[in-house]
Amino acid sequence: MERTVLILARHGETSWNKEHRFQGQRDAPLSELGKLQAMALHERLKDEPIDAVYTSDLSRAFETAQLILRGRDTCINPTPELRERHMGAWEGLTFDEAMKAYPEEVKKWLKEPLATVPLGEDGTHFVQRVTKFFERLLNMHSGERILVVSHAGPIKVAICSLLNWDMSCLRHFRISNGSISVIEVGRRGALCSTLNDECHLIKLNRALTQARQCGSPDQHK
């Protein structure tokens, strides 16, 4: 088996990310910061060879993929299999609102990331949906470099599955907005060469911090 490289990018920020709302499969668009993060991803990957591109069909991921690939004549393949887990009755709620309305269920979910969510997608189904997609992807694109733009949940599931980690590990690492993780798959199995890399966002975050400081009332006293 030739080495296959999976470049896993999480979409840029949305207003719901900023407000700490459960998004799930609600179609919240990118915020202005999210668009800037996607453009930073474009700069990071502009010289990287990419043979195929797959993205969640939700707008925040698809738009991120479009911005990353600006200037390239590359086909983007949207697929519902890369959507975030459906979070049922919690979608649209802030964490505090969900905790107030469903305290026991949220507490269990915090301990067990695949625990049942009221009216939501079954955790086992979610894992199977994502892992089956990546199995097909690796069969179709053996030896190629593939960009996948998705959400924190599917990216985490893919990483755990490819590295043979138990799904209980989902709670033990972060996948941030606009981050990149890279998994290389070869004859000896999978290797994670990059996890939640945000180096390309450093200049953007620094500029935003400076802008906030310049706009602070304390600066004009």
Task: Judge whether 84 counts as a catalytic residue.
Answer: yes
Looking at residue 1, its pLDDT comes to 58
Check 11, 42, 151, 200 and give the catalytic one.
Answer: 11
Q: Above pLDDT 90, what percent of the chain?
A: 89
Confidence check: pLDDT of 31 > 60: yes
pLDDT-based confidence at residue 216 (cuts at 50, 70, 90): low
Confidence check: pLDDT of 13 > 80: yes
Enumerate the domain spans of the chain: 4-220
Check 13, 42, 63, 84 and give the catalytic one.
Answer: 84
**Contacts by 158-166, CB closer than 8 A, 24 or more apart:** 158/6, 158/8, 158/130, 158/131, 158/134, 158/183, 159/8, 159/183, 159/192, 159/195, 161/127, 161/130, 161/131, 161/134, 162/6, 162/134, 162/190, 163/190, 163/192, 164/189, 164/190
Average pLDDT on 187-194 reads 94
Task: Judge whether 11 counts as a catalytic residue.
Answer: yes
The CATH classification of domain 4-220, taken from the options 3.40.50.720, 3.40.50.1240, 3.30.1490.20, 3.40.50.2300: 3.40.50.1240
